[in-house]
Amino acid sequence: MSDKSKLMLERIASKRIVPVIVLDHEEQAEPLAETLLRAGLDIMEITFRTAAAAASIRRIAKRFPEILVGAGTVLGLDQLKRAADSGATYALAPGLNEAVVQAAEAHGILMFPGVMTPSEVEKALSLNCRILKFFPAEAAGGVTMLKALEGPYSHTGVKFLPTGGIGLNNMRSYLERPSVAAIGGSWIVEKKMIADNDWATIEKLTREALAIASSVSAR
């Protein structure tokens, strides 16, 4: 793993929150980024679920170089290339696509493939991936499943980024697991809040999430 990748992982592990963001309009990117920065969060995941994703990443990467901006829901090589060309430094996927994982390094992208079974964990490890998106976290067994995976795989150094069904009510239980580097979630940046330009609520929820994450990290 390159020094650049190590630094990115350290930043993600220090904040322990990766907001999963769906933007319908690229013009929403800058005010959202400013809101997250005010709240103390300099990490964003812009998902490739809309046509505005690449342009939104480009806007953030250009105007806010201090933000670690990544691409989410990267399902194929074309999306991976568009993410890299737009300035994304890392990418996440709901599943494990070997071709995407292998191409990510050539594009200068740190890839977090999605897993939910032991076989998928082992496949990811064989591809030298050590940070894995555990998805869909709650539907796949939640904290109970993570505990089960920690037994046979903790010695490998693998860490998880659980996403799916996580919010203020259960984020602490995930962050308390030694295998969890950070959690992903959309509850602090819901589409309706963004559509309504409700930056105050987003800032409030982000501060609350970061406070919980900080209290767990300090234990």
- Domain membership flag for residue 18: yes
- Domain membership flag for residue 149: yes
Q: What is the pLDDT of residues 16-50, one digit of tens each?
A: 999 999 999 999 999 999 999 999 999 999 999 99
- Domain membership flag for residue 16: yes
Cα angle value 111/115/121 (rounded, 5°): 90
- Domain membership flag for residue 219: no
Q: Which residues, 6+ apart, have CB-to-CB distance to 102 below 8 Å?
A: 127
Q: What is the pLDDT of residues 177-212, one digit of tens each?
A: 999 999 999 999 999 999 999 999 999 999 999 999
- Domain membership flag for residue 33: yes
Contact 23, 52 (CB under 8 A): yes
Alpha carbons 66 and 59: distance in angstroms, whole number: 13
Q: What is the tally of structural domains in the chain?
A: 1
Active site residues: 45, 133
Q: List the CATH number of the domain containing 150.
A: 3.20.20.70
- Domain membership flag for residue 194: yes
Average pLDDT over residues 47-74: 98
Residue 71: domain span? 3-213
Task: Please report the sign of the dihedral spanned by the C-alpha atoms of residue 45, residue 28, residue 65, residue 103.
Answer: positive
| Strand 110-112, strand 114-115: pairing | unpaired
Question: Model pTM?
Answer: 0.95
- Domain membership flag for residue 91: yes
- Domain membership flag for residue 57: yes
